[in-house]
Amino acid sequence: MKTRHLFRLLVAVSALLFVIAACTPQTETVEVTRVVTETTEVEVPVETEVEVPVEVTRIVTETVVEEVMAEEAALGSEERPIKVLFVPSVDVDQIISGGEVLATALSDATGLNFEVSVPTSYAATIEEMCASPDDTIGFIPAQGYVLANNRCGVTVGGAAVRFGLSWYAAQYVVPMDSPAESLEDLAGATWCIPDFGSTSGYLYPSAEFAALGIEPGEITEAGGHNGSMLGVNNGDCDFGTAFFSPPLLPNYARSWTYGVDDPEIWREAGENPVRTEEGRTFVAGGPDEGGYRILDARSSVTDTAPDIFENTRILAITDQIPNDTVSFGPEFPLNTANNIVSALIDFTASDECAQSICSEEFYNWTGLEAVTDSFYDPVRSAMDYLGISEEDILGG
């Protein structure tokens, strides 16, 4: 009888403890009650000596910690703005101020938030796009795009249009009194370039030199097209390379013709270039007045060097180059990218663009057109010819 009474008492206490544990309120952690049944032989003094096996329930409480991942902020929100990256090819202050104008316009058009920055080099811009694959937009030149596409799959969204043209070229600029009359005369000459990642400033001239068997002298990386042109003007190097966009001709009667017209056809007017208050460089009053508008890289530095056209001249220009790109990180949402490209096309047709990427001090764009990756195959060919890979410029 005593054994049976003790057994019933233990079972009742176990059941009560189980109910109490199960009803305990849960907070940040989860308490899980595990019931472990053990068989214990309990010897109870009775009239007859019999060993009665008794089942004893032991209550074990374990603490389980559950980690909950915080939800990532939406792309384009204030907490996670879309990163807009510009290569430092012209004055950084101009890029920042003009970039903010563009960012505001894109925000108004798409309802998204954008953050403008200018990495320290072409290579740094590409590395940032690869490091942030789902939230970056890059305004990068043709070679930069090919490098970024090879490195991590950056995709092109559109190509710049400058005054109806989707191409530009590189110009070889020498001092006005330079004895050089052809590219062969630049063998051994010191060379100012914008950046080793520049398509017009380095890639195309290098390919042309290699094809002609010309080996220039010491190369100075000037930190942008402006720096390269100022390097020639200031006597820091024997020649420099930068972008060339053809001039606009009197009364817009026709377009400048590649391979036919002189790159400095405006010199026929017999007047020195003049910079206007709007930042444009005209000769003899500008196209509307029967004059010319100069668009090559030197026009961006006439504030700093007003006599640069008197001090320098274009020796030659390279083959045509596909225009700069608007590119997206490899994991950027396609629908969002398409909406942004559409907004950019509208922006380049607006008056606001003159304070941003359409400015002569900025990128001098006048439009944007959709292109595919194959549009940049000529750049790949030039890189292959020179044996240039992304490791050569971006590192391993």
What pLDDT shows up at residue 90?
85
| Residue written as token pair 């005593």 | 2
Please state, in angstroms and rounded to a whole number, the distance separating the CA atoms of residues 290 and 349. 25
Give the count of beta carbons closer than 10 Å to the beta carbon of residue 118: 22
Q: Do the Cβ atoms of 295 and 360 come closer than 8 Å? A: yes
- Pick the closest to residue 324 from 84, 141, 147, 196 (CA basis): 141
The correct CATH number of 82-164+323-390 out of 3.40.190.10, 3.40.1160.10, 3.40.50.720, 3.30.1490.20 is 3.40.190.10
- Pick the closest to residue 311 from 232, 242, 247 (CA basis): 232
- Pick the closest to residue 123 from 94, 151, 158, 162 (CA basis): 151
- Angle at Cα 325 formed by Cα 320 and Cα 330, nearest 5°? 135
Please state, in angstroms and rounded to a whole number, the distance separating the CA atoms of residues 184 and 251. 37
Q: Do the Cβ atoms of 115 and 354 come closer than 8 Å? A: no
What pLDDT shows up at residue 114?
98
Residues 6+ apart with CB under 8 A from 231: 192, 220, 222, 237, 240
Give the count of beta carbons closer than 10 Å to the beta carbon of residue 141: 31
Query: Mean pLDDT of residues grouped by 10 in the chain (396 residues)?
Result: 46 42 42 46 46 48 47 91 94 94 97 96 94 97 94 96 92 98 98 94 96 97 96 98 97 95 97 91 96 96 95 97 96 97 96 93 91 93 86 74
What pLDDT shows up at residue 71?
66
Query: For 189, what's the count of Cα atoms within 13 Å in the CB-facing half-sphere?
Result: 26
Please state, in angstroms and rounded to a whole number, the distance separating the CA atoms of residues 318 and 206. 10
What pLDDT shows up at residue 396?
63
Reduced to 3 states, what is the DSSP secondary structure of residue 164? coil
Domain boundaries, the chain: 2-64, 82-164+323-390
